[in-house]
Amino acid sequence: MSAARQRSRAPWRVWLCDLDGTLLDSFPAHEAAFRQAIAELAPSRLAGFRYADHAGASTAAVAARLTEDPGVADRLARRKQELYREHVRAGRVRPFPGARLLLDRLASGGRTAYLVTGGSRASVARALAAAGLAGAFRDVLTADDVPVSKPDPAVYRLACRRWDVDPAETVALEDSAHGVTAALGAGLATLHVHTAAPLPGAIGAAGLHDVVSLVGEEVYGSE
């Protein structure tokens, strides 16, 4: 992470946070749910399926890419969501180390956190409650609220309009190439977390504890 680059920016008073793969270690549960749903409803597509190629996109968008039949895509998306929620109920989706601390640090520093996720509202609500993160965000934008999916920057543009936030004072926190592309395309400063090779234009962070340290520098440096 480039501290020099951070200091050259205005304070980030608003944080637009992704959920899956960013704050929650949910990648294995999503992949397992997709693979089971595909095996049941579109088995010919299972061998070539890699969830990593789709991470950050909504379930409906991924299902539509897997089959040209709208009816099958709809059933596939609904079945995947059912299976993912079973993983959540079983306790297989947990916060990444530093997630709770980061959100607490943002709140104590007078920063506002919103959630911008490609998950469905019902799945997101269950995952937040199970992870102990419910109530950590001022508001939530889900796939149910947006007609497009990441990497389309319209997702983040809508978030900025809906919450009337100044992009110059806003940072997006993302883990996937789809999410980072969407945030950068909307003109937002973007932290690419859980990576040693951030996408061009993004600021890399190996983990959430690195982001916590950055928040401390950013808060105290703006006083």
φ, ψ of residue 141 in degrees (nearest 5): -115, 125
**pTM for the model:** 0.88
Count other C-beta atoms under 10 Å from residue 37's C-beta: 24
Do 114 and 15 meet the contact criterion of CB atoms below 8 Å apart? yes
Strands (E), 41-181: 94-95, 112-116, 140-141, 170-174
| Sign of the dihedral defined by the CA atoms of residues 220, 216, 199, 34, in that order | negative
Q: Which residues pair with 115 in a beta bridge?
A: 17, 140
Determine the Cα–Cα distance for residues 105 and 111; give it in Å rounded to an integer: 8
2-35: per-residue pLDDT in tens? 433 444 455 799 999 999 999 999 999 999 999 9
76-115: per-residue pLDDT in tens? 999 999 999 999 999 999 999 999 999 999 999 999 999 9
The separation between the first and the last C-alpha atoms of the chain, rounded to the nearest angstrom, is 22
